[in-house]
Amino acid sequence: MKLISTLLFFLLLISLTYSSATPTRSGKRDRVHEPCKRLVFYFHDIIYNGHNSKNATSAIVGTPAWGNRTILANQNHFGDLVVFDDPITLDNNLHSRPIGRAQGFYIYDKKEIFTAWLGFSFVFNSTQHKGSINFAGADPLMNKTRDISVIGGTGDFFMTRGVATLSTDSFEGEVYFRLRAEINLYECW
Amino acid sequence: MKLISTLLFFLLLISLTYSSATPTRSGKRDRVHEPCKRLVFYFHDIIYNGHNSKNATSAIVGTPAWGNRTILANQNHFGDLVVFDDPITLDNNLHSRPIGRAQGFYIYDKKEIFTAWLGFSFVFNSTQHKGSINFAGADPLMNKTRDISVIGGTGDFFMTRGVATLSTDSFEGEVYFRLRAEINLYECW
Amino acid sequence: MKLISTLLFFLLLISLTYSSATPTRSGKRDRVHEPCKRLVFYFHDIIYNGHNSKNATSAIVGTPAWGNRTILANQNHFGDLVVFDDPITLDNNLHSRPIGRAQGFYIYDKKEIFTAWLGFSFVFNSTQHKGSINFAGADPLMNKTRDISVIGGTGDFFMTRGVATLSTDSFEGEVYFRLRAEINLYECW
């Protein structure tokens, strides 16, 4: 009986120690996986076109041989590398108070259709959120929704991982577009 | 006795809940770690050189001051940024039916030898695979094999992590090369 | 009694199997999370300016329309894409024996202040360390310290994750700067 109690105590200790030392991890997705955190933001990209230096939040900094840096290249902008520093808002209004900045780059990477590769961060320094969320992944932007990876985070988002679902909420010509990002985090520390 | 049973039940519950809520994680590598999933693909890169716009799958979009965008720069292409949209095949034949696209960029980043930094995705939309696998890491391409990180995934590859071992399967001059990617995933959800 | 022993044995087996198959994960940060590994390195960046091709370890390879590739652009270098291959040292002396190379890129991404987005690797091949550590994240470089994500690793750093805290240890004009990187790994396999 003593032995059993000792064993039980030992097992209990293992279980408790282990669970307290481990970040929250959720189960299977699509009704199976539940996120440990869910966030929705909008961000707003205004590309520099030679005439809008005041309002522009992004600029073309690399192009293929047939392109230039004030007009997005033909062949679906294939090869255009764009650097951005876009305001993040809680609703879909460009003029709402920004609660952070989306900073990084995208590269258009297909000749036949619009699609891009994204590497960027959401950088927060507000009362709501402090820290950053880092993203990477393919953005086939003609799809209604597309998933990219949350590859890490810092501050409030320390060590997080997850998936962000992007959708194009609006676009105006080749200058302004607004993305909705639904961020589902499945690892929260 | 009642207490023991209750404790046992409690412990069993913790164990089962915990294991079901946690993705598969394998043990130590090199005979110690076993991947939860292993995949082998080939992808094919044809760089735009000013004369092959029909067949080219990639293009130089950034160069150092001493370079241009139709010929890879000297000093081991240091500074050349290449955007690509390469077909992925199951065997090493360029003309096999592609089962997805490798999309992203690489930057040659050393003056003394060929080496590059990679950020890209495998994007699948076939009967075999749906979703994407995201990669990042250093590619010292003169080495027979080199390891980069699988930093995330979506769809069939939701939240995955692992290591991809690249090897140069073939190259022809400075225009065509074919990479073999052996992907070992150690976190499967 | 037999049943209890069997159950206990079963539970013990689950616990032991599980803990041996799982990488070390530390608890909460800021006195709560303890890293499983901590490393401190310095790396040294000398930007090509048209006159220093021998010593330069990095070069501008993309710029906005108003920039060029031998002088960092105005508006806080917004849009400048820099590729680097910097020596890594254990102390803050540029001339110490390098124990690896920091390879990858940064993009200045804000018009109003210096800030950049980083994607790079530490590549080691020395007696101390073999393998690579991969990083991504926002670098608001006017802050005394800033955190980026360790998104993966290979070799000695197989599958690792963590946070690296960068600080500018020194800078000289617009040509040389030295970063201190304190790497805290929270997932060690």
pLDDT single digits (tens) A107-144: 999 999 999 999 999 999 889 999 999 999 999 999 99
Whether residue C154 is contained in a domain is answered as no
3-state SS of chain A: helix, strand, coil percent to 5? 10, 50, 40
Q: Which residue of B has its CA nearest to A148?
A: B154
Q: State the pLDDT at residue C32.
A: 77
pLDDT on residue C23: 57
Size of interface A-B (CB pairs under 8 A): 127
Buried b (16+ CB within 10 A) or exposed e, B99-112: bbbbbbbbbbbbbe
Chain A neighbours, 3+ Cβ pairs < 8 A: B, C
Length of chain B equals 189
Residue type, A37: K
Least CB–CB distance from A163: residue in B83, B104, B154: B154
Determine the pLDDT at residue B8. 56
Structural domain range at position A88 = 43-145+166-178
Q: How far apart are CA B78 and CA B114, in angstroms?
A: 8
Interface B-C, measured as beta-carbon pairs within 8 A, has a size of 124
Cross-strand partners of C121: C103, C134
Q: How confident is the model at residue A29 (pLDDT cuts 50, 70, 90)?
A: very low
pLDDT interval class at B21 (50, 70, 90): very low
What per-residue confidence (pLDDT) applies to C5?
Answer: 58
The angle formed by the CA atoms of residues A28, B187 and A162, to the nearest 5 degrees, is 55
CB-CB contact of B27 with C17 (8 Å): no
Give the confidence band of A4 by pLDDT, cuts at 50, 70, 90.
Answer: low
Q: Is residue A155 domain-resident?
A: no
> Which residue's structure tokens are 């300016």?
C49
Lowest mean pLDDT among A179-183, C26-30, C39-43: C26-30
Question: Is residue A17 within a helix (H) or strand (E), and if so which, with residue range?
Answer: helix A2-21
Residue A174 pLDDT: 85
Q: Is residue B72 part of a domain?
A: yes
Residue A81 within a domain: yes
Of A68, A151, A189, the CB nearest to C151: A151
- DSSP, res A47: B
Of A12, A27, A81, the CB nearest to B62: A81
Give the C-alpha separation, A183 to A166, whole Å.
9
Q: Is residue C109 included in any domain, yes or no?
A: yes
A15/C109 Cβ within 8 A: no
Examine residue C86 and state whether it is found in any structural domain, yes or no: yes
| Mean per-residue pLDDT of chain C | 89
Measured CA to CA in angstroms, residue A183 lies from A36, A89, C118 at distances of: 11, 14, 22
| Assigned domain for A62 exists | yes
Q: Which residues of B touch A186 (CB under 8 A)?
A: 159, 189
CB B37 within 8 A of CB B188: yes
- Count: domains in chain B: 1
- The residue ranking higher by pLDDT, C177 or A10, is C177
This prediction's pTM: 0.88
Retrieve residue A156's tokens.
């409030």
Chain C residues touching residue B24 (CB < 8 angstroms): none
Give yes or no for residue B32 having a pLDDT over 90.
Answer: no
Nearest to residue C109, comparing CAs of A121, A149, A78, A72? A121
Q: Give per-residue pLDDT as tens, A33-43.
A: 899 999 999 99
Q: What are phi and psi of A142, to 5 degrees?
A: -85, -15
Strand-pair partners of C179: C43, C168
Q: Is residue C138 part of a domain?
A: yes
The predicted pLDDT at position B27 comes to: 42
Query: Looking at the predicted structure, is the pLDDT value of residue A27 above 50?
Result: no
CA angle A61–A67–A70, rounded 5-degree value: 55
Closest C-alpha among A82, A75, A142 to residue A111: A75
* Whole-angstrom distance, CA of residue A46 vs CA of residue A34: 34
Output Rg (C-alpha) for chain A, integer angstroms.
21
Give the integer Cα–Cα distance in Å for A41 and A169: 11
